[in-house]
Chain A
């Protein structure tokens, strides 16, 4: 439960200000989300290695080469796509 004093500190930290009328509704909404998020505290710590993150497969597959993805006809006749963001060794 966030009390008023803590709420005002968070407002300062977030560079936000509210009228007295706005505060109770916001505090209530915050509480419901924080209490729900706090469900994670009830769980046991996982023993999963910390390198198992959302992009782990990127590393595992980084040496696999697939055939090119974009079919030529998708862009044929279109304007030149050799834009600045294509890197030679990685462009498809």
Chain B
């Protein structure tokens, strides 16, 4: 039986077991009942309108596409024409974009139905979804814990049956870490594979777009749809993509797996055991496994702290209270004063701190640090290239721990940043990486296995993840819409 929720939903629609309107109303009613705070904006009216159109087509005997009528959520940092796009910030609380992001445009053209815009850390800056201006997101598996971040709302919506799938962004693990915390599949593609046009940027040399789903197959379907050259994103690659969906069932006998042991420092025991068991599973299928030290990986986080914040400070300078977004409405002396008052009121603490660190890194006297980080980033990329001459894929946890409680790192931004220690290296080197559920700890909290490959081996990553999932499927939908087909 297929594990694909997209295909199950598609079958239910074409076999008329459920009408698209019934389905959408079902989801909308579950969203209203939910107390997870997964959504910032619910697009009820347009979702119902779109559902009626799909039902008309089915009634008229017209063929519908696989994604047509599939209810989805979208992280609220993707521009959606005429639909509020807040980035979970007071700065954009009332911002209605005048254009669609490429990703949303394609999903709309494929017939997907947007249920709403999902909560996130403010401007995607955070690892727990606690920095959102609209409040934190609760983890569906344990409401006293965080959903992870920054795509916390998107992941919680999928894990709690409030959307069939979602789309997130990943600058330093923001797809894979919350996917791991919520027990779903999160895929960060090769840098440049999916267009970021219309994604409100965080750190442009790191930002990626990717799917959040219940199964690997669903993630593969969405990747194949969304991965194409878009000249509107300067770093979107023009190379021809390899399809991933028809590679899912390839045999993995002879696969060479590397497991960097230093990735487990700081991991809790149950996470270590779950990842080790997953690796043993591959060994049984004929893969070879080598554990090794990968010291260059440890440089990724310091490099990220420097380069990520420098790019963030640069990107955030567009929010000045003049062109769009919040504007201070009291008296001011001059334009500088207006900008300062606007930004000081409308940005949250974490955003301000990242801008300040970015300004520090880019200011006169500290440029050596920035240049050194660029230089070392090249070294990390080169080290990965060398490792991928020995191994086909690398495996490690997606997070050193399972979901933590609220206020876990209160007043300690470094502690929160280190929650992303396992996921940042793939962003530094532009690699494809997936988090796939690989078990639960003694508190019944999900654990994620992370699989990384060399650039443009996205097809292999899906293949390797799918082989595991086929025999060890453990994603759960907690409440929300559930139905058998």
Which residues of A approach B to under 8 Å, CB–CB?
Answer: 2, 6-7, 9-11, 13-18, 25-26, 28-30, 32-34, 36-41, 43, 45-46, 48-50, 52-58, 61-62, 64-71, 73-81, 83, 85-87, 90-92
Contact = CB atoms under 8 A, between A and B. Distances in A.
Q: Is the interface of A mostly helix, strand, loop or mixed?
A: loop
Nearest to B221: A74
Contacts of B430: 54-55, 57
Contacts of A64: 239-240
Contacts of B249: none
B220 to A, nearest CB: 11
Contacts of A17: 340-341, 344
B63 A77 contact: yes
Interface in B132-166: none
Most buried by B among A28, A48, A68: A48
Nearest to B238: A90
A61 B357 contact: no
Closest A-B pairs by Cβ, 5 of them: A46-B379, A78-B65, A37-B305, A54-B430, A57-B455
B11 interface: no
A50 B320 CA distance: 34
B313 A74 contact: no
A74 B66 contact: yes
B305 A33 contact: yes
B413 interface: yes
A54 B347 CA distance: 30
B369 interface: yes
A73 B221 CA distance: 11
Which of B67, B230, B360, B414 gathers most chain A CB within 10 Å? B360
Nearest to A72: B65
A76 B65 contact: yes
Interface in B322-377: 336, 339-341, 343-344, 347, 349, 352-353, 355-357, 359-361, 363, 368-369, 372-373, 375-377
Contacts of B67: 74-75, 78
Nearest to A29: B413
B228 interface: yes
B57 interface: yes
Interface stretch (B103-111, B269-277, B400-408): B103-111
Nearest to A48: B378
Given A34-B360, A78-B110, A79-B109, A29 B353 contact: yes
Given A14-B356, A33-B413, A92-B240, A45 B230 contact: no
Contacts of A81: 106, 109-110
